Amino acid sequence: MTDLDQQIETLKQKITDYINISKMFDFPNKERKIQINLMLEDLKELMEKRDKAK
Amino acid sequence: MKDLKKDLAELKKLSGDDFTRKAAEMKETYTSAEEVAEIHKFIASGFDEIESELKQIKEEILVRDQLAEVAKFVNLSYIAENYFHKSKTWLSQRIHGHVVSGKPRYLSDKDKETLNFALKDMADKLSSLTVS
């Protein structure tokens, strides 16, 4: 696993963790929805770049 | 005795199942409006942190892609030694965001300035050269 793979996997896990805790504590996701969606798009883009590089 | 700050600091270090388990424990312990508000702040700052980490990785990939083309004909050892006074490994680690001592290492803004100066300086030297 390359360093980029590791960083992407760490971020994927972190996003999952924070989405989970948001649900647990009724965090008002509505306000954060745009930010979260943009982050997920960024992550998708990074993963595509990584897969293309392989 | 419950200590929200301490528990949040511990939670921050965890990930995956451990993170979820700790968060679930905290849900049972911290139920007042003030405590939940503090946890919401923690979550918001977590999302901000993720956003900034993603941004940093994206920027670094951009730098790496920009340099990939140049690296075919520019000697990175020369740049590392003459402009950074460091080894080629040091420069390569930063260009590729390699993990050193558990942390990914990137070019700092100052390093990027130095690199841009190096590329421009080398370009100037090349463009002023005419073989007679």
pLDDT (tens digit per residue) in B23-72: 999 999 999 999 999 999 999 999 999 988 888 888 878 887 888 888 88
Higher confidence at residue A31 or residue B16?
B16
CB B22 within 8 A of CB B11: yes
DSSP states of B46-77 as a string? HHHHHHHHHHHHHHHHHHHHHHHHHTTTS-HH
Q: From CA B43, how far away is CA B54, in angstroms rounded? A: 17
**Whole-angstrom Cα distance, residue A2 to residue A18?**
24
Check residues B6 and B74 and name the one with the higher pLDDT. Answer: B6
Distance, CA of A21 to CA of B30 (rounded, Å): 13
Q: Which domain holds residue A35?
A: 3-53
Please tell me the predicted confidence (pLDDT) of residue A1.
58
User: In the predicted model, is pLDDT for residue B109 greater than 80?
Assistant: yes
pLDDT tens per residue across span B117-126: 999 999 999 8
C-alpha closest to that of B57 among A17, A13, A40, A42: A42
Tokens of B128: 């002023």
Q: How many residues does chain A have?
A: 54
Enumerate residues 8 to 47 of chain A having a beta carbon within 8 A of any beta carbon in chain B: 8, 10-11, 13-15, 17-18, 20-22, 24-28, 32, 35-36, 38-39, 42-43, 45-46
Provide the domain count of chain A. 1
Quickly list H helices, chain B: 4-13, 16-29, 33-70, 76-79, 88-95, 109-127
B-chain residues near A18 (CB < 8 A): 43, 46-47, 50
Cβ atoms of B55 and B40 within 8 Å: the answer is no
Residues of chain A with C-beta less than 8 angstroms from the C-beta of B20: 17, 20-21
When CB atoms are compared, the residue of A6, A25, A42 closest to B54 is A42
Cα distances from A18 to residues A31, B13, B19, B20, B66, in angstroms, run 15, 13, 9, 9, 33
> B34 versus B106: which is more confidently predicted?
B34
Structure tokens at B25: 């424990």
